[in-house]
Amino acid sequence: MINHLSDLSNEMIPAVEMELRDVLRFKEHGDDLFYGMMHYHMGWVNEELDSLEVNGGKRVRPLLCLLACAASGGDWKRTVPAAASIEFIHNFSLIHDDIQDASPTRRGRLTVWKLWGVSQAINTGDAMFALAHTAMERLSTRDVDDSISLQALRMLDNTSLELTRGQFMDMQFEERDDVSVDDYLAMINGKTAALLSLSAEIGALVSDCRPEIVRHFAAFGRDLGLAFQIRDDILGIWGDETVIGKSAATDIETRKKSLPVLHGLSKDDTLRRMYEEEDSSDEFVAAVVEHLGQTGSREFAESFEQKYVDSALAHLEAVSPEGKAGEALLQLTGSLLNRQF
Amino acid sequence: MINHLSDLSNEMIPAVEMELRDVLRFKEHGDDLFYGMMHYHMGWVNEELDSLEVNGGKRVRPLLCLLACAASGGDWKRTVPAAASIEFIHNFSLIHDDIQDASPTRRGRLTVWKLWGVSQAINTGDAMFALAHTAMERLSTRDVDDSISLQALRMLDNTSLELTRGQFMDMQFEERDDVSVDDYLAMINGKTAALLSLSAEIGALVSDCRPEIVRHFAAFGRDLGLAFQIRDDILGIWGDETVIGKSAATDIETRKKSLPVLHGLSKDDTLRRMYEEEDSSDEFVAAVVEHLGQTGSREFAESFEQKYVDSALAHLEAVSPEGKAGEALLQLTGSLLNRQF
């Protein structure tokens, strides 16, 4: 099979990078550190603000956006500002997440708050949130109608609200012992799926296809996001360390209330008691995983994952994605879910 | 003199309050606390989320926006979404400022971070930032052209960027001993003046007057903001406790690098040494104020204040503000600067 995903990525990602850098370009003298902290987070400079030759992340969301545009018959180049905007939203949320989770590192580098303190990191995220909008407002420089640009901005802000709502729930879950599967689905819907949905939706919106098609793309992105997050939850317990790059069962150590765990907790009182203990020894973690096996929690989560995969594929099929971009969209879906279609 | 300001405020502020509440209306079941924290910050509910009958702040920025619209010949009712948007931006920045300054109280009530923790407070500010945009996007429901709505959004995001840039500088100043008057002016320009400028600018923009008039309104708001902040700096040292509601010379106790202080530090080595001491006794603070008197730092700051007042009034005169709203605009300017024109 020809790798259209790789071909198109090689064209699309540099275009997105150029747009990202253009929006984050130093505007005034003395702004070095103000923009510098954003450049650092994007992976472009080191902590002394010297340029780096690095790979700045996978840019999954921009790619999804541009492929959705091309696959629905649009000119993806006109959608690049939207793709950049979405990438900024994602990164703004990461800067704030890292403060909220007290994470010292991300992708093997110190986090912004760790280097420059919490106050400056809050402000850096805020600045990037503003610039995400500035990026979207550049659609009109690519001959996109004002009404479409406005609609894209409205979608962006609805999604940002969903994102903060998901983050609110996620933080609340840490203190709640009554989290239901529905609560969990609402949380990942906001925290993970909303932005993937927006990516596909705006791509289709800018290509000016029928509202019905735009809705299918949005639903495709949402289901893809839900399946992706649930798969991540499964890997967080049963993943292969050598593949996922973090120790398996990390999520058990941190007592994360992921989907398999929520299922297990609802089925097994012993597990519920164990989850309240502070023990993080290998033996203890192994015992928890054993219990989760017995409660059928892995199968439970996999059935949800499968449901969302099937639904995502059905929405994708409904729009009959065109040409190479259509193929690439299927390949991207496969690579995100670690499957082949 | 007839008090047009009070008459128009009585009409305008309830319209803004209604818009603010409409944008912050609970959307989904389970969102009580998510929106509740925002309602608390706005002064609508207490910490148990029970409704309060309170005065939610002066709403200076919305008022400036609506008066600018009316005074430039527009229908202020169409501009209400923009006024609400600006009030949300102001409040989002206050929620984050309170975290950054570690302020336990605001307007005599516990701050959001103090009640619900830093992580939820960051997120509450983020949600309000998103909703500030949602508010602006409602302009089109009042028959405002898409191109004007888009322009308003662009201005909003430029201003938000200025705001975060000002906040970045303000936080940096605490650690710098080389802050110049120009640095200081750039900081208050972002942190205080930009949003007042936007308020007047968008009011005029929506009234659809000539670009030249819109620019005058923007410049009027900016100069007003600069004069207002410098006056606040002067009151922070020489203010009358019974009038300003905080102890005079608070800014000396906290070693704030305000305009008179920056001037004094550049003129007087003794003062520079004193400012590095930890002493906050009444005698010590009085000695600092005495020195600032000798260096002519009050007069220095007052000359800047006067310059910006004159410039603000010149811009206002240039637009020949119309009718009652024009009078009210002058009265608002006077009340902000504690003068009569």
Q: Picking from A22-26, A49-53, A101-105, B191-195, which range would have the lowest pLDDT averaged per residue? A: A49-53
Inspect the interface and report whether the beta carbons of A161 and B125 lie closer than 8 Å.
no
Contact flag A161-B134 (C-beta cutoff 8 Å) = yes
pLDDT at A16 over 60: yes
Across the interface, do A186 and B126 touch by the CB < 8 Å criterion? no
Check residues B31 and A38 and name the one with the higher pLDDT: A38
- What gap in Å lies between CA A128 and CA A124, rounded to an integer? 6
Chain centroid offset of residue B105 CA: 18
Nearest CA in chain A to B183: A30
Q: Is A32 on the interface with B (CB under 8 A)?
A: no
How close B324 comes to chain A (CA, Å)? 34
Residue A106 per-residue DSSP state: E
What pLDDT was estimated at residue A32? 87
- The verdict on a CB contact (< 8 Å) between B171 and A33 is no
Give the residue from B95, B97, B90 showing the smallest Cα distance to B121: B95
pTM for the structure as a whole = 0.95
Question: Consecutive 10-residue runs of chain B (341 residues): their mean pLDDT?
Answer: 88 96 82 92 93 80 98 96 98 98 94 98 98 97 96 98 97 91 96 98 95 97 98 89 62 90 93 88 90 94 97 95 92 89 73
- Given A134, A160, A171, which is nearest B119 (Cβ)? A171
Question: Given CB atoms, is B174 within the 8 Å cutoff of chain A?
Answer: no
Q: Is residue A34 over pLDDT 90?
A: yes
Mean pLDDT of A242-252: 66
Provide the residue range defining the domain that includes B96. 4-337
Of A258, A226, A232, A227, the closest CA to residue A245 belongs to: A232
Asked if A246 and A253 touch (Cβ cutoff 8 Å), the reply is no
Q: Which amino acid is at B239?
A: G
User: Does the distance separating the beta carbons of A99 and B118 come in below 8 Å?
Assistant: yes
Structure confidence at residue B339 (pLDDT):
80
Please check whether residue A180 touches B, CB under 8 A: no
Given a contact cutoff of 8 angstroms between Cβ atoms, the answer to whether A95 and A109 are in contact is no
pLDDT value of position B244: 54
DSSP string of B159-203? HHHHHHHHHHHHHHHTT-S---HHHHHHHHIIIIIHHHHHHHHHH
Instruction: For residue A137, give the nearest of B33, B150, B186 by CB distance.
Output: B150
A129·B134 Cβ contact <8 A: no
A30: contact with B, CB 8 A cutoff? yes
pLDDT in tens, A249-264: 778 888 889 999 999 9
Contact between chains at B134 and A165 (C-beta distance less than 8 A): no
pLDDT digits (tens, 9 = 90+) for A137-196: 999 999 999 999 999 999 999 999 999 999 999 999 988 888 999 999 999 999 999 999
Chain B residues close to A171, C-beta within 8 Å: 119-120, 123
Model pLDDT, residue B245: 54
pLDDT at B340: 75
Q: A27 exposed, middle or buried (CB, 10 Å; 0-12, 13-18, 19+)?
A: exposed
Counting the structural domains of chain A, the total is 1
Which candidate from B120, B183, B186 shows the least CB-CB separation from A171?
B120
Query: Residue A112 carries which DSSP code?
Result: H
Q: Give tens-digit pLDDT for A77-91.
A: 999 999 999 999 999
Closest Cα in chain B to A136: B154
Give the C-alpha separation, B340 to B332, whole Å: 10
Structure token pair of residue A127: 């600045």
> Does A25 reach chain B within 8 Å, measured CB to CB?
no
Q: How far apart are CA B125 and CA B141, in angstroms?
A: 25
Interface of A with B in 106-135 (CB under 8 A): 118-120, 122-123, 125-127, 129-131, 133-134
Which residue is it, tokens 């253009």? A22
CA–CA distances in Å: residue A115 to residues A48, B166, B322: 11, 20, 52
pLDDT above 70 covers a percentage of chain A that reads 95
What's the whole-number average pLDDT of chain A? 93
Could you read off the pLDDT of A274-324 as tens digits, one per residue? 988 888 888 998 899 999 999 999 999 999 999 999 999 999 999 998 899
Output the six-digit token pair for B241.
């406790």
Indicate which of B94, B122, B131, B156 best probes the interface with A, i.e. most A CBs within 10 Å of its own CB: B122
**Banded model confidence at residue A241, pLDDT cuts 50, 70, 90:** low
What pLDDT, on a 0 to 100 scale, did the predictor assign at position B242?
Answer: 59
The answer, for B26 touching chain A at a CB cutoff of 8 Å, is no
* Residue A172 with chain B: CB contacts under 8 Å: 33
Domain at B44, CATH number: 1.10.600.10
Instruction: Please spell the DSSP secondary structure of B263-331, one letter per residue.
Output: HHHHH-HHHHHHHHS----HHHHHHHHHHHHHTTHHHHHHHHHHHHHHHHHHHHHHT---HHHHHHHHH
